[in-house]
Copies of this chain bind each other. A is one copy, B any other.
Amino acid sequence: MRVDGKPYTTIWAGDDGASIKIIDQTRLPHRFEIITISDVDTAARAIAEMWVRGAPLIGVTAAYGLALAMRADPADANLERASAHLKAMRPTAVNLQWAVDRVRRLLEAAPPPQRFKTAFAEAGVIARDDIALCEAIGMHGLSLIKTLVAGKPPGAPVNILTHCNAGWLATVDWGTATAPVYKAHDAGLAVHVYVDETRPRNQGAALTAFELGQHGVPHTVIADNAGGHLMQHGGIDAVIVGTDRTTASGDVCNKIGTYLKALAAKDNGVPFYVAAPSPSIDFSIADGVREVPIEIRSEAEVTHISGLTADGEVTRVRLTPEGSRALNPAFDVTPARLVTGLITERGVIEANASALAAAFREGIAG
């Protein structure tokens, strides 16, 4: 997608063929800075310190990181060490484990002198596969948006509400929840996005607003509290969110607060779609509310916030009184009964066990 009028992906190979470049997402939206990574330790740090975030992007970064490790030392011992090091950076990130294992298995079968080149190429394949997957979600979602456009007065924009950042910044390009929006915008359809701020980490206000704005998509930031009111008054035509984990029965674990928007959508007859790439589906879990463990993150994400001062400095401030504690669950689970449809790379399907099994388990019904 575009930044300052120029097309970008979130990660790309350097011209030297021996480094990668990423956008430092911790600096967004106030600074747009590109970092060159030439060694596995920096790649690991990029993952641990969240210069890159979003499951697909973390996976690709780790794959490239393993390649950079092989450039320095392609021996088996280093392959083992670098794999373990990268995987430990975000232990609960499924894509990270998957991408590292995929590249490592390939390398175990390759002679050491070919390992860097093999891994670097494979990381590129993983990146391109992710772009294709997001584009497929985008095209299926575009069909949904076209249907919404048909129901609006001529020229009136379709209003999409999204939560958190399931945007291109979380993937390699296009994003998941945003892919239908970008496809619609690029096709000349009038689409406007209400962006939930997404406290406490403000991924909506910081990242989704940034990427939509840079690509030229009309959007409006709202407090997380506002979406229900907008739906009550016909202000939202559809909700599209991402998913961190989709259960076999279609429950959706996504950023904290998603469930509240799903309830409001149901109460107001607003379609609630989840952009759910197949890697997000966990067929080992059925009941999301009971079975998905929810990460409790630092209190400081609630009690403090960072922003840009009038002097142009990024500064952290405390919001709560001294002595007040905070609780910070990072995700919640939206039961399948509240989900209108899952926008997958294979089409829009119902959020239930039989539809998911039919689409992705090739007949092995759960």
A interface residues with partner B (beta carbon < 8 Å): 28-30, 194-195, 197-200, 202, 205-206, 209-210, 213, 219-230, 232-233, 255-257, 259-261, 263-264, 267, 289, 294, 302-310, 315-329, 331-333
Contacts and interface: CB of A to CB of B under 8 A. Distances in A.
A223 B303 CA distance: 9
A270 B161 CA distance: 27
Given A199-B197, A317-B305, A329-B230, A267 B263 contact: yes
Contacts of A227: 260
A51 to B, nearest CB: 18
Contact of A325 (B206, B221, B304, B333): B221
A219 B324 contact: yes
Nearest to A321: B29
Contacts of A194: 327
Given A263-B263, A316-B310, A213 B324 contact: yes
B205 A225 contact: no
A220 B209 CA distance: 29
Copies of this chain: 2
A81 to B, nearest CB: 38
Contacts of A310: 316
Given A30-B321, A197-B302, A200-B225, 7 more contacts: A199-B224, A209-B320, A210-B321, A213-B324, A220-B324, A232-B332, A259-B264
A86 to B, nearest CB: 30
A199 B220 contact: no
Contacts of A320: 29, 205-206, 209, 221
A302 B232 CA distance: 21
Contacts of A327: 194, 220-222, 226, 230
B200 A223 contact: yes
7 contacts: A30-B318, A209-B320, A213-B321, A232-B333, A260-B260, A304-B307, A305-B307
A302 B199 contact: no
Contacts of A318: 30, 307-309
B302 A319 contact: no
A305 B317 CA distance: 9
A18 to B, nearest CB: 33
